Amino acid sequence: MRLLFDQNLSPRLVELLSDSYPASAHVQSSGLDRAPDETVWNYAKEHGFIIVTKDTDFHERSVIAGTATMFNNSLPTTISAISC
């Protein structure tokens, strides 16, 4: 499983989780740090990433697109992982 961490999460997560999730990336290192959500979504889909974000826009997009989503409300700040 390859994770793509959104701008609202620390780029350090890539290194911290590299043992469990190798080949993961952050939008900043992928040149997407200022890209609109649709561009990030399409990049994740094209490259086989699951988006990890605090942004509910991606969750809403996954519902509309009919894709799988994991939404965790038990965390202090909601984080969702969306398989594009």
pLDDT digits (tens, 9 = 90+) for 27-43: 999 999 999 988 998 89
What pairs with residue 81 in β-bridges?
52, 70
Mean pLDDT of the region 59-84 = 60
* pLDDT reported for residue 84: 55
User: How does pLDDT run across 5-28, given as a tens digit for each residue?
Assistant: 999 899 999 999 999 999 999 999
- Please answer whether residues 21 and 1 qualify as being in contact, where contact means their C-beta atoms are separated by less than 8 angstroms: yes
* pLDDT reported for residue 12: 95
pTM over 0.75: yes
